[in-house]
Amino acid sequence: MATTIEEYDLIIVGAGILGCAAAKAFGSDNRKVLLLERDLSEPDRIVGELLQPGGMNALKELGLEDCVEGIDGIPCYGYGVIRQGETVEIPYPIDSETEKQAVGKSFHHGRFIQKLREAASSTENVTVKEATVNSLLREENGDKVIGVVAQSKADEESKYYAPLTIVCDGLFSKFRKEFTTKTPDVRSNFVGFIMKDLVLPMPNHGHVILAKPSPVLMYQIGTHDTRVLVDVPGKLPSVSTGELKKYLQGTVAPELPESIRPKFLEALETERLRSMPNGFLPPSVNQNDGMILLGDAMNMRHPLTGGGMTVAFNDVVLLKDYLSHENVPSFADSEVILQKLNEFHWKRKNYCTAINVLAMALYRLFAADEDADLAVLQRGCFSYFKYGGLCVSEPVGLLSGLIQRPIILVYHFFAVAFHAIKIEAISNGWAGAHRSFIMFFTVLYAACVTILPYLWSETKY
Ligand SMILES: Cc1cc2nc3c(=O)[nH]c(=O)nc-3n(C[C@H](O)[C@H](O)[C@H](O)COP(=O)(O)OP(=O)(O)OC[C@H]3O[C@@H](n4cnc5c(N)ncnc54)[C@H](O)[C@@H]3O)c2cc1C
């Protein structure tokens, strides 16, 4: 069997969220780009369906804003958080760029991906091929990546060479382990299905229901379709034995608002239940000669706050600048590229730290079923949101990628902790200095276990 050999400036592995955006960005900068994707048909997945306003802005900067049009997408103006029958609205803040209320968009992931792929393939200098990358080619007597070996659906093997390869092959990345010892920490799975023609309590908002034992997400992704994602902590009950369905009917359904429950139960009878692991993977510095690991392959957070695509698009905006023709005339100049990637790692913390840490901290808090200390903090957090104003606009500005100053997160972290102490003291009474003293440390401890481990792993080199 003959092996085809071709040369490019840049090879991108994976035409998902990050790969398509990167192909368009670097192709537009006159680099000869090859984008390799194992399956170019429309994906049918339960991921990447709500794009935050900060992601919309990045999409615009990449000239890809049309990709959210013509796919029956639904504008999203913020969140509704529901706890024990009470709802608090968390609207997106005013976008400083447009001076209007910020807006996100939710849609069917597959339709959006196909639009991104069309945009990539119609960009000058970009070639898109359907092939699975099986291995990376390395320089003889060295570690530098110089290309890839890929196999087409017709079983033809090709070797593609380039001085730089971006690997963005997603959360189940085949190549991650070759470049980092970090592995995703998976604590739960999302089980997803569609509910037909449901009117949510707050239309055009993402819904987070603080159910027990774990949160449930809902958002409309098309005229007739509402996505539900149920977080199932620990080992997933079996689908084939019907255990999962029983769990959703018996444990989750009673936790939902009455207006939603009938459609939820109806969908359980007709829809296919699908699941995805929810992982946390702190970012690593790219120190690999000839290759960059990006997207979910390099950095992940719990999807509760829908931040993955926003981080991915912002990464492309930043990287296209660091690796522009002006900054790096040739991708063969490994030394300059490694130096730029080091700068990129620290600069991206402006947006990714808050998104990553908030996703994980809010998840721990919202899934505070058995832990009494975390439950105190959960109540405090919900009540803090009820204040509105900055108590809402800054946290949601951070998680939606609109505010890129992670220090604000630290302020709100302490504000929620002190607020939780206050309402606990008010509701239980100040039974002497001793009790208040214990309560103070209990709540502060709970706040620390939700945020500090993630802040720490974010800032580790
Ligand atoms: C349950 C769930 C819900 C989520 N919901 C949201 C949300 O609402 N909003 C949000 O912003 N984020 C969400 N995310 C996160 C978001 O989906 C990811 O952050 C985003 O898709 C990452 O993009 P990526 O390009 O790294 O990977 P992907 O988009 O997964 O793309 C990887 C691509 O690589 C291809 N590929 C893999 N291996 C190979 C190979 N060997 N050769 C060639 N091609 C290959 C795959 O086919 C795929 O097309 C969610 C995640 C989960 C798990």
pLDDT digits (tens, 9 = 90+) for 36-81: 999 999 999 999 999 999 999 999 999 999 999 999 999 999 999 9
Q: Is the CB of 308 under 6 A from ligand 1?
A: yes
pTM listed for this prediction:
0.95
Testing ligand 1's pocket by substitution, the residue of 20, 38, 191 carrying the most ligand atoms inside 8 A of its CB is: 38
| Nearest C-alpha neighbor of 263 from the set 246, 248, 244 | 248
What is the Cα–Cα distance from 185 to 108, expressed in whole angstroms?
Answer: 27
In this structure, which residue's CA is closest to atom 17 in ligand 1? 48
Average pLDDT for runs of 10 along the chain of length 461: 80 98 98 98 98 97 98 98 95 88 97 98 98 96 93 95 98 95 94 98 97 96 98 95 97 97 98 96 93 97 97 98 97 96 95 94 87 84 92 95 91 85 74 62 77 79 60
Q: Is the CB of 169 under 6 A from ligand 1?
A: yes
Q: Is the CB of 221 under 6 A from ligand 1?
A: no
Model pLDDT, residue 434: 58
Model pLDDT, residue 451: 81
| Nearest C-alpha neighbor of 228 from the set 253, 250, 258 | 253
Q: Is the CB of 313 under 6 A from ligand 1?
A: no
Which atom of ligand 1 is the closest one to the Cα of 296? 26
| CATH fold of 10-72+107-182+281-332 | FAD/NAD(P)-binding domain (3.50.50)
**For residue 211, what are the contacts with CB-CB under 8 A and spacing of at least 6?**
252, 255, 256
Instruction: Return the residue matching tokens 């393939």.
Output: 121
Model pLDDT, residue 2: 54
Model pLDDT, residue 195: 98
Model pLDDT, residue 431: 59
Give the pair of three-digit tokens for residue 346: 């620290």
Alpha carbon of 64 to ligand 1 centroid (Å): 18
Q: Is the CB of 80 under 6 A from ligand 1?
A: no
Model pLDDT, residue 436: 60
Model pLDDT, residue 430: 59
Q: Is the CB of 36 under 6 A from ligand 1?
A: yes
Q: Is the CB of 275 under 6 A from ligand 1?
A: no
Give the pair of three-digit tokens for residue 78: 């913020």
